Amino acid sequence: MKGYFKKYNWIFPVGLAGLSFVFFQFFYPYHLFFKEQIQLFLYTPDYFLSYFKKPAWLSAYLGDFLTQFFYLRGGGAAILASLFCVEWVLTVRVLKRITSSTKAGLWALLPASADWVLHCNTLHGVSVSVGFILVLCMFLIYAALSGAWISYAILILFSLTGYWLLGSSFLIFPFLILAYDFNNQRVHWMKWIIVLVVTFAIPPVLRHHYLLTPIQSFIFPAFSKQSLLLQGALLLSVISSFFLKKIEATYSQLISFGIVTVLAFVLSLGIINKADFNLEKVLSLDGETYFGNPDRVIELSKKYDLKNKQAAYFTNMALTQKSLLAENLLDFYQPFSLGLIPPVTPEENWQSIFVSNEVFFLIGDINMAQHSAMLGNTFSPYQRSSRMIRRLAEINMVTGDSAAAMKYLRILSKTLFHRKWAESQVKMVQSSETNKWLAGKRSQVSDADLLRKSNDYLSSLQFLVVQHPDNLVAVDYLLCYLLLNKEVKLFRENYDRYYLKLNRAVPKVYAEALLIQLVTDKASQQEAQSYSIHPEIVTRFTEYTRIFEQTSGDMSALNKQFSKSYWFYYHFATIQKK
Amino acid sequence: MSEIQFKRYLLVSHTPNLLKGAKSFAVCQVPFREFRGNLYGILAFLLLSLTLVLSGCGGKVNPDAVLKEKPNLFPDYVDVTIPATIAPLNFKVQEEYTAINAVFEGKNNQVIHVQDSKEICIPAGDWGKMLETTKGDSLKVTVSVKQHDRWKQFAPFRLHVSETPIDYGLVYRLIAPGYEVYSKMGIYQRNLSNFDQSPIVENTLVPGSCVNCHSFRQSDPKNMSLHIRGQKGGTILLADGKMNVLNTKTDKTISNFVYPFWHPSGNYIAYSVNNTHQVFHEEKGSRVEVGDAASDIVVYDIKNNQAISCNLLMQDSIFETFPSFSADGRTLYFCRATHKKMPAEYKEVKYNLCSIAFNPENGTFGDRIDTLFNATAQSKSVTFPRPSPDGKYIMFTLADYGNFSIWHKEADLYLLDLKTGQTRRLDEVNSDNTESYHSWSSNSRWFVFSSRRMDGLYTRPFIAYLDENGKARKPFLLPQPDTEFYDRLLYSFNIPEFVSGKVEVDPNIIEKLVSGEKRVQVESLKLQ
């Protein structure tokens, strides 16, 4: 066993890269797709220059450059795995420079693992990882210089430009210098103080120029203080390897085993703690919606059986696209109508606002779709989102606002992965051709007007249906909206007014709701029969009513047999306020 | 005039004939044109740019075809009237080409010759000198484009250089179009003689806030009012260099102060107080309305820290909004409409342009309201009445209904001659899309207005000259360093206001003030 860890040092980076790749590719891929969607990387000089408006232009630009590849399946996982690998390699070199520890390969796993955990958050950018890699490079350059004057020159240069180039990632630099000198028994109080003061004075001084709050100035380009964990992990590696170096020879295997065990434990705990697998599931539904796979959304939704409004939102849209909403609405969790049309208000979290345009675009409420897409773009972390720009282009193509559509398409034509789509759409706009999709969307758009409050979805749905009675998506959304809000009387009125004219078979949920209202209205048998409700549903309704009356409305007696029925929802569904 | 010979990176093979006999200097195009005006960019790419600049040579064109038509430019600067201190009017021709050439001929045989593969970006120094010497006259601009290796020359057009000066700059809010979003916005100032833009305040400094309604005392940058909305909200008042944050909600007013207008004396600011609601259109051509469920007008007495008003300006059955003072400060103009149920009857809300006397000596109001422009009679609605500082005109916006004309496609600018009482639509500057907010220069000869004519979605600032007879000249789009600037900008220019000098306000001071707890409570309303 002696020297095992040293001999097989390559296992660490390869194992780390492999495991992280597997994790992000197979257990966490939709977070990475989402990270691409909330940014917009353009190949223009102006876009490059926009990075100079804030600190960390180099790490932010390179980070965003890499993030665009998250659009590709496997691209995000491969890039992150590679970054962790590079972090490990550089950390090993840094540790060897500072502490000469024989366990550097093990200690170096700590920062890379911390970065892995941090990347479980949608807001943790690649720029932080790039900044970390670059600051390690800066340190290694400094440490490699033997001449005193040149090392001082480089130190001054790095200290003055580090924040400008790398932002908060540079804050670790003076500590590395200090540790390096300390280990080499070189005491340079003046140098240490100057480097420390300069490094930590620059953020608060430059924050006025960059218009950052005090906290933002110390964490930029990250959005959260948690991102400092990466630097904390490096410091911990340096300190630990420094203090344990003396006993490394004696307790080599024990230390190695201890580090690996602790690391595995910390990594597992970190991932369990920080990885939001529920959000990953929601993002998987969102991602498949974005990529136009309603079948996959329904499949995933069945598998996950999530009980939240976001999951219901994507599931309902997928069901609608497959004309199954009225049939299968209650096969899935429904938080009243919040899962149909979520509120779009500044009080909602940005991710909900970001995806809110999808439903409006689907049902044909094109103005609200535009409003939501603009909000989505503005509320996204970088205020420029490839997904929102694409949607805004689509919306303006649908409304025939060519100038606005072209504006967005020209922006997308400067990207790597949306260019092809944009160019094909430009041809369509310029040739005034319409494909089936565009013609279909345009047929939903209304020239008539209604003024309504942003959260008055009922008026909006009724308006859409009145304008285009053949818009089955809007009809289903209207009827299901009423049903989920238990407005059964209104449901029947609207059903009679709009759905009957479509000459379609009465779906299960509608049939169940109609039976309730027919009984309430004391409808004649002839009237009831005119709805052509399937006899099996009528029989089940009779059975439901019998048990309900027999048990005085005991939910548990009905749950097994009728939990997916509208009758059950009507009687027992309640909103629990948190 | 010294002749300056630049070399350029674009190679042109034709021999010159355009400038026969003229003192000419060929002007190069610096590559990475977007870097202009950006110090960091210039520094970062200086070496690369110099290398490229010095690697080629320029030339003049010998046209293969000469057209009678003038070029279709973007931005449309053909035959516009400009001030002598305006930043270079960079442009491109709206056609496909492999090279573009422009020759600017001014007084005293001055010539600027620019050639590029993409767009005409005029060197600022030579441009400034040429405008200065051509004041009161016009520049002749000859544009050619190279298509299929042949040069096509358009009929020359003129840039009329007015002798009348324009103010130092503009202050505007940049905001995602049309909707009240708190995520990212800011109020910025722009120097009109170059492309420098700097923030006065950005809402990210006070997270969760909204910044709006900046206003200056007759373009004076030392007297400013703006609102910060949100948890840490307040009205920032900069009066003669002293800044305070006001809490403007009083027990007798329905809201905080909203739409401002400074009294020429600097002693008062008129504000509307509005109970606003946002409603959305379903029709694809319209988008959003912000209507009032109630609104009144108050005048803030700065010295006494007191809001004053009168019953005539605070009627429950009437909406009163958009106040503004006359040039002599003795009349308060405002918009007035009969109260309607919102949002059901919103389209029936029609504002007239009205006035009431105001005595600045004691802060009292007259006892009657006059109607200056009866928009209701035309089934129209007035917004943004802005008297010219010389007291001759009131410019306002006329839309079909309501007070949110910034999203009304039919909204146009109108000019009321206060001497004759005649009102006319400013056809010289209006388009078939929205023209809405507008502001006068301090000498009343220039005005800036926001228009959605470019893409129907984003408001852009246009500047126009008004001659001594009240005739407006063709407006020009606020020039930018390159012609793609507006295309890539995802923000609207909101409330463009002229300022006569730089606003010397540190955004961080505003941050500090707003983040703090100190607020000056405006004293309760005094009704007369």
**Between A and B, how many CB-CB pairs are < 8 A?**
143
Please tell me if residue B374 touches chain A, with a CB cutoff of 8 Å: no
State whether residue B65 is helix, strand or coil: strand
Nearest chain A Cα distance for residue B336, angstroms: 22
- Taking an 8 Å cut-off on Cβ atoms, the answer to whether B343 and A407 are in contact is no
For B459, the closest chain A residue by CA position comes to A404
pLDDT value for B57: 40
Express each pLDDT in B143-185 by its tens digit.
Answer: 999 999 999 999 999 999 999 999 999 999 999 885 655 567 8
In three-state form (DSSP H/G/I as H, E/B as E, the rest C), the secondary structure along B284-353 is CCCCEEEEEEEEEEEEEECCCCEEEECHHHCCCCEEEEEEEECCCCCEEEEEEEECCCCCCCHHHCCCEE
- Taking an 8 Å cut-off on Cβ atoms, the answer to whether B282 and A452 are in contact is yes
pLDDT value for B11: 28
What's at A45, amino acid-wise? P
Q: What confidence tier does B526 reach under pLDDT thresholds 50, 70, 90?
A: confident
Helices A126-144 + A57-67 axis angle, to 10: 130
B-chain CB neighbours of A208 within 8 Å are 506-508
Nearest chain A Cα distance for residue B458, angstroms: 9
Interface of B with A in 427-446 (CB under 8 A): none
Please tell me if residue B292 touches chain A, with a CB cutoff of 8 Å: no
A-chain CB neighbours of B282 within 8 Å are 365, 367, 446, 448-452, 460, 463-464, 467
Express each pLDDT in A95-128 by its tens digit.
Answer: 999 988 888 888 999 999 999 999 999 999 999 9
The CA-atom distances, in angstroms, between B457 and each of A38, A407, A452 are 22, 10, 20
* pLDDT exceeds cutoff 70 at B461: yes
Nearest chain A Cα distance for residue B342, angstroms: 10
Mutate to test the interface with A, among B42, B280, B345 (most CBs of A within 10 A): B280
Express each pLDDT in A256-285 by its tens digit.
Answer: 888 888 888 888 888 998 999 999 999 999
pLDDT value for A541: 95
The CA-atom distances, in angstroms, between A262 and each of A117, A254, A257 are 15, 12, 8
Q: How far apart are CA B509 and CA B200, in angstroms?
A: 10
Instruction: State the average pLDDT over residues A543-551.
Output: 94
Tell me if B71 sits within 8 A of B152, measured CB to CB: no
B-chain CB neighbours of A371 within 8 Å are 178-179, 280, 287-288
Prediction ipTM score: 0.88
pLDDT value for B50: 45
Express each pLDDT in B238-292 by its tens digit.
Answer: 998 889 999 999 988 999 999 999 999 999 999 999 998 888 888 877 888 888 9
Nearest to B441 by CA among B216, B227, B183: B216
Q: What confidence tier does A3 reach under pLDDT thresholds 50, 70, 90?
A: low
Least trusted range by pLDDT, from A436-445, B135-144, B494-503? A436-445
Least trusted range by pLDDT, from A366-370, B128-132, B458-462, B498-502? A366-370
State whether residue B252 is helix, strand or coil: coil
Q: How far apart are CA B53 and CA A222, in angstroms?
A: 38
Please tell me if residue B116 touches chain A, with a CB cutoff of 8 Å: no
Q: How far apart are CA B436 and CA B406, in angstroms?
A: 5
Express each pLDDT in A336-380 by its tens digit.
Answer: 999 999 887 767 888 999 999 999 999 999 999 999 999 899 889
Which residues face B278 on adjacent strands?
Answer: B290
* pLDDT exceeds cutoff 50 at A294: yes
Q: What confidence tier does A254 reach under pLDDT thresholds 50, 70, 90?
A: confident
pLDDT value for A105: 87
Mutate to test the interface with B, among A46, A52, A380, A401 (most CBs of B within 10 A): A46
Q: What is the pTM of this model?
A: 0.90
User: Residue A288 belongs to what H/E stretch?
Assistant: helix A277-290
Tell me if B149 sits within 8 A of B65, measured CB to CB: no
* pLDDT exceeds cutoff 60 at B52: no
pLDDT value for A10: 78
A552: left (phi over 0), alpha (psi -120 to 50) or beta: left
A-chain CB neighbours of B34 within 8 Å are 44-46, 49
Q: Domain residues of chain A, as ranges?
A: 18-275, 278-334, 457-572
Mean pLDDT, rounded, of chain A: 92
The CA-atom distances, in angstroms, between A540 and each of A426, A506, A518, B472 are 55, 16, 15, 77
Express each pLDDT in B397-427 by its tens digit.
Answer: 999 999 999 999 999 999 999 999 999 999 9
Q: How far apart are CA A39 and CA A66, in angstroms?
A: 11
For A366, the closest chain B residue by CA position comes to B284
Instruction: State the average pLDDT over residues B505-527.
Output: 87
Q: How far apart are CA B144 and CA B101, in angstroms?
A: 5
State whether residue A558 is helix, strand or coil: helix
Please tell me if residue A450 touches chain B, with a CB cutoff of 8 Å: yes
* pLDDT exceeds cutoff 90 at A389: yes
Please tell me if residue B284 touches chain A, with a CB cutoff of 8 Å: yes
Domains with residue ranges and CATH for chain B: 26-162 (2.60.40), 169-521 (2.120.10.30)
Express each pLDDT in B76-107 by its tens digit.
Answer: 999 999 999 999 999 999 999 999 999 999 98
CB atoms inside a 10 Å sphere around CB A299:
13
User: Residue A295 belongs to what H/E stretch?
Assistant: helix A294-304
Instruction: State the average pLDDT over residues B180-198.
Output: 87
